[in-house]
Each structure stands twice: as C-alpha cells, then as structure tokens.
Amino acid sequence: MAGLTLDTLRKTYSGGVDAVRGVSLDVPDGAFCVLVGPSGCGKSTVLRMIAGLETVTAGAITIGGRVVNDVEPAERDIAMVFQNYALYPHMRVYDNLAYGLRNRGTPKAEIETRVTEAARLLGLEAMLTRYPRQLSGGQRQRVAMGRAIVRKPQVFLFDEPLSNLDAKLRVQMRVEIRRLQRQLGVTTVYVTHDQVEAMTMADRLVVMNGGEIEQVGTPIEIYRRPATRYVATFMGSPPMNILGAEAVAGGVRIDGTVIPVAGMTAGTAVEAGIRPEDLRIAEDGLPFRIAFVEELGATRLLHGPLAGTDVAVQVPAGSTAQEGDTVRLAIDGTALHLFDPATGRRLAQG
C-alpha cells in the first residue's frame, strides 16, 4: 500500500488549454479521496496524469515515495475504472479479469485464485463465462471494478464510474465501492461531479474549480466551513443562499437588520451565506414572501426573495406556510458564512 502526493501539478494541452493549474494534494495511505467540481474543471485530467495516460506539464506525482512522472502506466501499480467501463468486448468476464495478471506473467493457478476471489467479492461468480455485451450496466460496472481489484494495485483511480447507472443502482454501488475500498484498504482517488456522491464517499474531499483546488478537507469540514464562496454554493443541495450584507461593529447588517456576529468590525461590504436549513420561520426577523413551495416529502422548500435575492428555506414537513404567505425569517449569526465579495474567500470570524 502507498500514499499519493501531487506537487504543484500542471497540465497545458497542446491546444493551449490550461486544464490544471498547480494542484497540490496529499492522499494518505488507504484514504478515499474524492475530487469534485463542475464539468471541465480538470478532474479527469488530474486523474489521467496520475494514471500516466496524460503527460505532466509541470510538477510531480509521487506514489509510495516514488516519483512516477516518467513511469509507464503499467509500471505505476495503479488500476483505473473508466466511466464507460472500457471492458474488452471480445473477452469473457473471466478473461477480462485475468488479462492484467496474464500480461504480468502471473502463474495460472494464482490467476484462477485471484479471479475467483474477486468474482466472489463482487457477486460475479455466475457471469464469468459471459461476454460484456451480455451483462447489464451494473454488472459491467462490477466487472470493471473486478478488473481493478484482481491486480491488488497500490492506488485505485475512478473516473465517474457511476454516472452511467440509474439513480437506485448508483446509491447501491456507492455503498459497495466504499465497503470494498475499506475492506481492501487501497488508497483511492475518485472523480465525480455529483456532490452527493462526493459527500457520502469521501474521507478526504477535494473541491476543484477552473483547474485549481478550492478546498481540501473532510466532507463535514467542507460543509460546515467552506473556504470560499464557490465551495459554499457548490456543496450542499439546495445550495447555500448568499445575501449582500454590510459589516458593522459586532455584527452584519442585512436589509437593515443587524445580526450579531462576534468579533466583527465595522466598514466593508461582505457576502453572507446561509444554508436553507439554517433559516427558521420565527415571530420576528426579516420579512419573506413565499413565491412557491417545493414538497420533498420529509421536508419542504420555500422559495422567495429575501433582502433582494432569491433564496430557499428548508422547513419541516409539518410547517403550514403556503404560497403567497409572508413570514419572518430569523437568522442566527453563528450559522452565517461570511465571504469577501472581491476575492470570494471566507472571512475570519468567531
């Protein structure tokens, strides 16, 4: 087993696209690291550089203490699961799993043992003699994972492995991948643009944007203390509400109402973020006219303008607020996330 380190990694494609602009990351041995970010932010490029499928423009990739920049993919001791699975269509499942071992000259008996073991772990025993085209999407996904685990690599790489599955299967496979990874203890880098997947699977979550890392942390850290306005609005569903505000001594003023925030000094404009679940209907507070209501079953989402911006408020299913009602929303100063409007960075606060 081995950890993985990226040191100011850069990638400029031949067309001049700066896909990755200096990414540094440390993935400890056995950790499950998820890269999340919007489409085109360079997640796949980072992963493909780790795999050795793209050349590195600058920076260093270290796997288990060895710099692998100029090492062939085959020699990096990694395994990758592709979005479209990339199974060998002309080989049976057994041969798909055995291919990597055969290429490395593993003895036949051992191949048999390892393939059987992997098939058992993934529930593929009954499918070993089938061709990929005879499998369902979920089963193909398992074969792709099986192909990764038989080799017992030092690092697993996943590039949006679940995006071709239906919602239910996605939830199931999410749990399964996590269980397998814990069981095997292999360092993993997992790319997704689905923030629910990112939150639920990661030990270590990396939020990327525009070829750079915005924040690294545990899912809870990132959710509770987003480092930038971008992360704050990207992680969480529905996204965090951002309101214009002004810093005053000991608080922030939103739409004329001062909300106490410890340690604030007067002066500048700030952006105040608040999650939909942190807004409460109360006796007194900012007026909020409900424009429409989304029923989610367990909770309800109220949409409408607050202090000049459209916001969402999450209330329990028992709430009786209706479209057209005007209610008052209480804002708790400790639930506010304050950002510098110019840089988008989180402001130090108590």
Partner 1 sequence: MGPERVTFGGRLLPAALIAPQLLIVGLFFYWPAVQAVWQSFQMQDAFGLSTEFVWFENYRALFTDPGYYQALVTTLVFAAAVAGLSLGIALLLATMADREIRGAGIYRTLLIWPYAVAPAVAGVLFGFLFQPGLGLIARGLTQIGIPWNPLLDGNHAMILVVMAAAWKQISYNFLFFLAGLQAIPRSVIEAAAIDGAGPARRFWTIVFPLLSPTTFFLMVVNVVYAFCETFGVIDVLTHGGPGRATQTLVYKVYQDGRIGADLGGSAAQSVVLMAIVIGLTAIQFRYVEKRVAY
Structure tokens at 157: 């790489």
Nearer to ligand ATP, 43 or 151 (CB): 43
Residue numbers 15-74 binding Mg ion by CB under 5 A:
44
Count helices and strands in the chain by DSSP H and E runs: 8, 21
Considering only residues 4, 6, 19, 272, which one is a binding residue for ligand ATP as defined by CB under 6 A? Answer: 19
42 touches ligand ATP by CB under 6 A:
yes
Q: Pick one of Mg ion, partner 1, ligand ATP, none as the site partner of residue 17 (Cβ within 5 to 8 A by kind).
A: ligand ATP
**Residue 318: other Cβ atoms inside 10 A:** 7
220 Cβ contact list (under 8 Å, min separation 6): none
89 touches partner 1 by CB under 8 A:
yes
Where would I find the H helices in 151-187? 167-184
Closest contact distance (angstroms) between CB of 282 and partner 1 is: 54
Query: Distance (Å, rounded) from C-alpha 49 to C-alpha 293?
Result: 45
61 touches ligand ATP by CB under 6 A:
no
Closest contact distance (angstroms) between CB of 279 and partner 1 is: 45
3-state secondary structure of 71: coil
Structure tokens at 67: 């710099």
127 touches partner 1 by CB under 8 A:
no
Residue numbers 175-204 binding ligand ATP by CB under 6 A:
193
Closest contact distance (angstroms) between CB of 198 and Mg ion is: 14
Instruction: Name the residue with tokens 């080989």.
Output: 91
296 touches ligand ATP by CB under 6 A:
no
Query: Distance (Å, rounded) from C-alpha 171 to C-alpha 162?
Result: 9
Residue numbers 50-79 binding partner 1 by CB under 8 A:
51-53, 72-74, 78-79
Structure tokens at 3: 């950890």
Q: Pick one of partner 1, Mg ion, ligand ATP, none as the site partner of residue 193 (Cβ within 5 to 8 A by kind).
A: ligand ATP
- Burial of 134-147, coded b for 16+ CB within 10 Å and e otherwise, reads ebeebbbbbbbbbb
Of 80-88, 188-196, 273-281, 302-310, the segment contacting partner 1 by CB under 8 A is 80-88
Nearer to partner 1, 21 or 92 (CB): 92
335 touches partner 1 by CB under 8 A:
no
Of 42-50, 88-96, 181-189, 194-202, the segment contacting ligand ATP by CB under 6 A is 42-50
- Give whole-number Cα distances, 316 to 212, 240, 278, 305, in Å: 37, 18, 12, 20
- Rounded to the nearest 10 degrees, the angle between the axes of helix 137-150 and helix 108-122 is 140
Of 33-41, 195-203, 242-250, 335-343, the segment contacting ligand ATP by CB under 6 A is 33-41
Nearer to ligand ATP, 155 or 191 (CB): 191
Query: What phi and psi, each to the nearest 5 degrees, are found at residue 83?
Result: -60, -40
Query: Distance (Å, rounded) from C-alpha 256 to C-alpha 271?
Result: 15
Q: Count the residues in the chain.
A: 350
34 touches ligand ATP by CB under 6 A:
no
Structure tokens at 71: 């090492």
Considering only residues 11, 151, 170, 300, which one is a binding residue for partner 1 as defined by CB under 8 A? Answer: 151
Q: Which residues bind ligand ATP (CB under 6 A)?
A: 13, 15, 17, 19, 37, 39-45, 193
Q: Which residues bind partner 1 (CB under 8 A)?
A: 51-53, 72-74, 78-80, 82-84, 86-90, 99-100, 103-104, 133, 147, 151
